[in-house]
Structure 1
């Protein structure tokens, strides 16, 4: 047993999230992730308000005020409508997609896929890309579809469909995965697929992190003189440019404004 809280997170894409959450609560889950109703459902999470009512009626105690959640929903409803009207919110992300269970596409990955297809004017390729995802996943040794691997598999599937030739274009992240830089695949990648992606390069068989040089000393140096804690150093290490700007402006809002020394001499005046 542990004193740690158990938090369950899922998406409503396949239409099973509410059932999943109920069984999780019955099994002892402490926290479930939901979304306020204007932005709930589909690739998001089940609605907070509905979940609260259901759990309360079943005798469970929650710490969320139902009146406040209703007010929050009223506030965000018009904002959702505005995004729908402008096209910023694709209505397809709100659809129930039972076939996602067959295509093994998680909600967050599905949202990214829709955005990519829309930006490229290829929304008609949506179904073809969905069908390609499990094939790519099988080719790559069945990596778990969680960030960043889900985005990597989705991008490769998208490229395979749009180029009309499988693995004609291969992102560097996929190559690094096959090289072993993301760890060992759950299932060995077929030799012919490995050769197609990285040629005759050798695959890392050791723990990838053991090949990295210690980064903390360099982070500490790069974050100076604005870092005052380990958290500041890690902020810089994760996001060097943005992190340094954040830390610098916290100390001095003009920290990155160039300073020039100007010599000024006054000419003598004559009456």
Structure 2
């Protein structure tokens, strides 16, 4: 029989790769004993990146949820682990050193055993300080290699990084194949290279199932020395998530590995509970597209978990682009046309910005650059003319060093815009902040919490924590949940019923005079063009919805009522309307 392989259930990432929210504390308490009864998991992912932030957004205390979820596993001898974004810790942007250092003390006290530390750029400067702080706090630091497929991401490249992280104190290495595009043969060779040089280092493989390579990759890494495999369970396995434990166990058992048995009664119970959580409320925030695999992901390398938000962005931009094309008398684009164009543009952009592994937040930055390029090229302005500070920060080196060469055109653009490249250690650019947050806790009369966990939560997620403490987060969440339920109901109605349903919750914008409708006038707008607004567009009270040019030439701005979300456009750019005609419908903002 071959070596023993252990399994981890990535229960946090199952939800994270499917939708927006995580189960509540009471739901986690119910599922934990059942996961233990399955008898096949040596590890369970209990918290980490996004877990705590979305708990706060739902008006829940994440510290209570983490403690409650970890406790039964601690008592059963099952290791718990969390996802740690290195420089960004548990959020999408950099975190001060003193806050990061506190995180490991808090998480260890709450019952988390292992921290999986990754940098989206594989810059060891963003990982090594966390290794040191995790060791100080009594946690096991698992350093991570973010896997992708490019000319610079070779076995030698990754093995060299692993050497540096192990020398810095990493006790384990995770191969994080976040988009599932790592080629199985390369992953096998990398596993062998690390194990040959560091036979005592534990290697854990984490591969998403989106493009369909993950099962082959699991077999390759196990045959070359991997120790632990991340898995999922139904109804949240496969799709853009992870392979199911049943399939992985069966494959490895047939290959001759020593793998644990699965208590199928407990598996079915865990499956039923997870579905119950989906039906209760979590399913309203799960994008159905994330339940499907797609080979298209191999070309662009984007992680499947961001497909939902990407498709929403693509839909809005498509409306604007089609408005421009229509004005030129050119054929409009379907969503499939747009998707192919976006993937091709990502393939164009990615090497030019230095091949950053496409994982949070760099996957979002590369996708956004590509999306804006599609828009500005349609306008005739060319590429790379609409890039914000976050996109530039990746290119300039503010988050770390990208693995490939930056295209010279960005150096020219940076010089014109007076932007400077830096090779400074990213974490040295951020001042400590705990004293400021501790003062805020004191000034508000807030308890810093057991093991300073409430202080940590404020320092890690300031805005979300303040909204949680005020009760505003819960109010906002209930409004969002009702909207999601309404949208689900709306999708089941006929076009006539749907129109009535939308209009019942919206204000009609009517024309106060006869004339021609314009959303912008050619040459007047240097920002994102708005030839027509798109469904879902948000307006504040006082914002202009459109303009009507009267027969005698007067141009009258039409305000967007009290503001809200656009649910229907009735008058197209250039349409002629009579007084009282409907221009569109805007859903009123919910009362706070």
Shorter-chain TM-score bucket reads: 0.7 to 0.9
Q: Does 1:181 align with 2:402?
A: no
Superimposed CA distance per residue, residues 134-172 of structure 1 (whole angstroms, 9 cap, x where no aligned partner):
221122111121211111111221222234342232132
Which structure shows the bigger proportion of residues in helix conformation? 1
User: Which of residues 219, 223, 230 is equivalent to 1:22?
Assistant: 219
User: Which of residues 464, 467, 470 is equivalent to 1:242?
Assistant: 464
Superimposed CA distance per residue, residues 174-228 of structure 1 (whole angstroms, 9 cap, x where no aligned partner):
1222332112222332332233357232222322322222222223223334214
Residue 100 of structure 1 and its aligned partner are, at CA, apart by 2.6
Residue 45 of structure 1 and its aligned partner are, at CA, apart by 1.0
Equivalent residue runs for 1:212-227 within 5 Å: 212-224=430-442, 225-227=446-448
CA, structure 1 residues 220+76, in 2 after alignment: closer, same or farther (shift >3 Å)?
A: closer
Contact 2:241 2:290 in 1 (8 A): no
RMSD value, Cα: 3.4
Please name the residue that 2:341 is paired with.
128
CA distance in structure 2 between the aligned counterparts of 1:213 and 1:241, rounded to whole angstroms: 19
Equivalent residue runs for 1:49-60 within 5 Å: 49-57=246-254, 58-60=256-258
Please name the residue that 1:140 is paired with.
353
**TM-score in terms of structure 2 length:** 0.37
Which structure shows the bigger proportion of residues in strand conformation? 2
CA distance in structure 2 between the aligned counterparts of 1:117 and 1:93, rounded to whole angstroms: 19
Superimposed CA distance per residue, residues 226-247 of structure 1 (whole angstroms, 9 cap, x where no aligned partner):
2143433321111113334657
CA, structure 1 residues 92+235, in 2 after alignment: closer, same or farther (shift >3 Å)?
A: closer
CA distance in structure 2 between the aligned counterparts of 1:231 and 1:18, rounded to whole angstroms: 39
SS in 1 for 2:340: helix
Q: Does 1:62 align with 2:260?
A: yes
User: Which of residues 427, 435, 440 is equivalent to 1:209?
Assistant: 427
CA, structure 1 residues 234+87, in 2 after alignment: closer, same or farther (shift >3 Å)?
A: closer
Q: Does 1:11 align with 2:229?
A: no
Q: Gapped runs of 5+ residues in structure 2? A: 1-165, 173-201, 320-334, 472-592
Please name the residue that 2:511 is paired with.
none
Q: Does 1:38 align with 2:251?
A: no
**Aligned positions, number:** 247
SS in 1 for 2:390: helix
Contact 2:231 2:243 in 1 (8 A): yes
SS in 1 for 2:357: coil
SS in 2 for 1:33: strand
Contact 2:441 2:448 in 1 (8 A): yes
CA distance in structure 2 between the aligned counterparts of 1:159 and 1:18, rounded to whole angstroms: 35
Q: Gapped runs of 5+ residues in structure 1? A: 250-271
Residue 40 of structure 1 and its aligned partner are, at CA, apart by 2.2
